[in-house]
Structure 1
Amino acid sequence: MTTTHPDGRIERGNQTRRLVLERAVNIASVEGLEGLSLGRLAGELQLSKSGVFALFGSKEELQLATVRTAIKIYVEHVVRPARDLPPGIGQIWRLCANWLTYSEQRVFPGGCFFYSVSAEYDAREGKVRDAVTAAHGNWFSLLEGVIADAREVGEVRTDTDIPQLAFELVALLETANAESVLHHNFACYQRATNGIRNRLLSVATDPTLLPDTP
């Protein structure tokens, strides 16, 4: 009977790729995706430039892989902890609370990765912009879907303008992130929490359904 052993080179390549991308998302959250280069990452991580180039092939592919990695991290910290909650206003609240914690705890050293790179690519064209735009759009769609589910189960008023509510909630989240990064003022997270709670109270069919704290 023949035993198949995994190719050690493939595993080493996967480990190197993960190492590079872990560093890349942190750099990009502070300096933007344009701050990435294969040579810089190879030098900082003491890897061969040719080996890093072989893994990604181009700066654009490195940038796209960095966005995909950031999405996975974002989902892990913001989306997944709220995914198993029952539909309702508590699920909306949890998503927003997760987002504020993700930003405040600096999962990415530059604050929200997608806030940073959205500003960098909002007026550009190309595959990287498309990837950033899709990630941003998916977050809005998710939030709107959770609000719609809460309305469907009767915990959000039927006359609620879902896109408007999602827009206002994201505005509060992103303003807290921007203020904390620019001014090192972490009191803004409590202000955002208060604003989100007040806005959700305005659409809740039963205010007692909303938790007192995130």
Structure 2
Amino acid sequence: MKKDYPVPAGYLERETEVKKSRFIARVAPVGSRDEVKDWLEQAHRDHPDARHVCWAYQIGRPGSAAEAAMNDDGEPSGTAGKPILWVIQHKDMGDVLVMVIRYFGGIKLGAGGLVRAYAGAAEAVLSAVERVVQTPMLEVSVTLTFADEQPLRHWCDMQGATVESVEYGEWVRARVRVPEHLQDAFTDFCHAQKLDYSLAR
């Protein structure tokens, strides 16, 4: 059975300084590439004069992430995005984006100095951010009668599942988010109630 995994509880920012260069590190929880893009656009809006906005993210379970990427944004290859991603992986956190915004202070840091500076900035913000446990969820589509809606809602309330949406027609169609580890229990409930269900696409 897959286990839950920690994700950032919310947005946080921390600033460090290395030889007059400012490194503003931001962490944010993300679940998709679109969310990553939104956060990066926000960083560029907030800091239009910054020399670099370097970043890395990891979506999914730490150690077997569904997706990960990084960007040096003009810094020498491997000196910014890679150390940020390494710190994320070391922290064993999923669904996380770290951006480091740099204002150049006039003193060159060299490749080794840049790696240490970006890793240090990522470390500072990831050490400070609160963590919450992310429970992997399944989206399920259920077809039921009007009489079955209340038992379904009751089961969801008791088990930590949520009814996301309901459409009423000849039949009731509900979209339900079920914790992944309760898939078998939900299947048993649907069979007992004679409900038609399928994993949502």
Q: Same fold (TM over 0.5)?
A: no
- Structure ID, larger Rg: 2
Q: Normalization by structure 2: what TM-score?
A: 0.29
Looking at secondary structure, tell me which structure has more helix per residue: 1
Looking at secondary structure, tell me which structure has more strand per residue: 2
Q: Normalization by structure 1: what TM-score?
A: 0.28
